Structure 1
């Protein structure tokens, strides 16, 4: 357990002791006391889980709500794409991978764009048949991934061709835009609650 989870557990136990003391001080049947204690245990369990994993819950909610409503909080202004920060504190974007709609988390800390195995297969990604996997270090430990190539990745008005990608089942439901895409842009930056992506500067016609 993390330090925050330990603190939450101590708090919950203390609160349950107080609730139990209050119930036993009342002259009610033992069966009703047990039912009340179980109800409070359930309430505190929900509270602890919600507080301890609030970032993960918000991330899942952001992804699911975006897919259900189709509202990704992104706006194309000319050749520029502006993306509003989601409730989980991250920037999510709706893209097209080989014409397949895919929702991505933009992560400037990721070196390479990453996709789940199921999404990559659905998008027809060219996945390497090499028996030697790529070993990646993630927040959840080491992950074995395969190299692949996205023939066409479109985000707003910007398109990247033949973009390297890593693919693994262990990525769960998260697809990530990494620096190998961001570095192809003319610029990218965060302005307050928005991320701004700008296309490469076109060379003047000669």
Structure 2
């Protein structure tokens, strides 16, 4: 009787250990916005909206721009950005988006162009938003109707078209009628968020965290 009890106890301990080992994941918050978050799960970045589940089984329950509530194996936990954020910079009346830098030191964040989901790389050296023609076509942008211009790319000078985007948003920070350049080549390979948008918001870097804040 005692031996049977000990055997069952050992099996329960092994099962508990196995369950904990399976559910153990390295999860960090890279970006927070209301209704969405960029999570890094075991080294892979996953952009999730409220109610979405990552391929690793991480459910984003909610995100309010300050913390993300996630659920893994039925257990919920509130996560904030991994680095400290100053609390005396913002006011309650203004919309703020916080973006953590990637391993390469870049700031990458999900956003929207004309209401469609995209991924931006912050580029304070770019005059305006820049994208290639393939991305523009996927977003339904009639770039050939824009003003022909010349732009510098990694392969030299190339023809591009200046267009006006109806709306550009990161989280709740939405701006309208934003200038963008669409390259006739496949460069840039990512959408660069330039100063035609960034010039309309306030920016501050605090301990590696980029804070974008509305002006009104």
Q: TM-score, normalised by structure 1?
A: 0.58
Q: Of the two, which has the highest radius of gyration?
A: 1
Contact 2:203 2:210 in 1 (8 A): yes
The alignment status of 1:110 with 2:126, answered yes or no, reads yes
Q: Paired residue for 1:83?
A: 99
In structure 1, distance between residues paired with 2:109 and 2:153: 21
1:70 correspondence with 2:51: no
Q: Give per-residue Cα distances to partners, 1:83-112, cap 9 Å, x unaligned.
A: 000011100010011121100100001111
1:118-164 Cα shifts (integer Å, max 9, x gaps): 2212222242436x731112344212211112111111111111111
Is the contact between residue 76 and residue 157 of structure 1 (CA under 8 Å) also seen in structure 2?
no
Q: Is the 8 A contact 1:75 1:82 kept in 2?
A: no
Q: Measure the CA separation in 1 of the matches of 2:179 and 2:110.
A: 19
The DSSP-based 3-state class of the residue aligned with 2:145 is: coil
Q: Which moved more, 1:135-144 or 1:107-116?
A: 135-144
Distance in 2 of aligned mates of 1:107 and 1:180: 11
Are 1:99 and 2:115 an aligned pair?
yes
Report the counterpart of residue 177 of structure 2 in structure 1.
Answer: 162
| Shift in alpha-carbon separation, 1:113–1:75, aligned structure 2, 3 A | farther
Question: 2:168, 2:197 within 8 Å by CA — same for their partners in 1?
Answer: no
More deviation in 153-162 or 82-91? 153-162
**Which runs of 5 or more residues in structure 1 are unaligned?**
1-64, 202-206
Alignment pair present for 1:198 and 2:210: no
Q: Which residue of structure 2 lines up, in the alignment, with residue 188 of structure 1?
A: 203
More helix by share: 1
Measure, in 2, the Cα distance between the counterparts of 1:138 and 1:85. 24
> Is residue 177 from structure 1 mapped to residue 193 from structure 2 by the alignment?
yes
Aligned residues: 133
Shift in Å at residue 197 of structure 1? 0.1
Ranges in structure 2 where 5+ consecutive residues have no aligned partner: 1-43, 50-62, 67-91
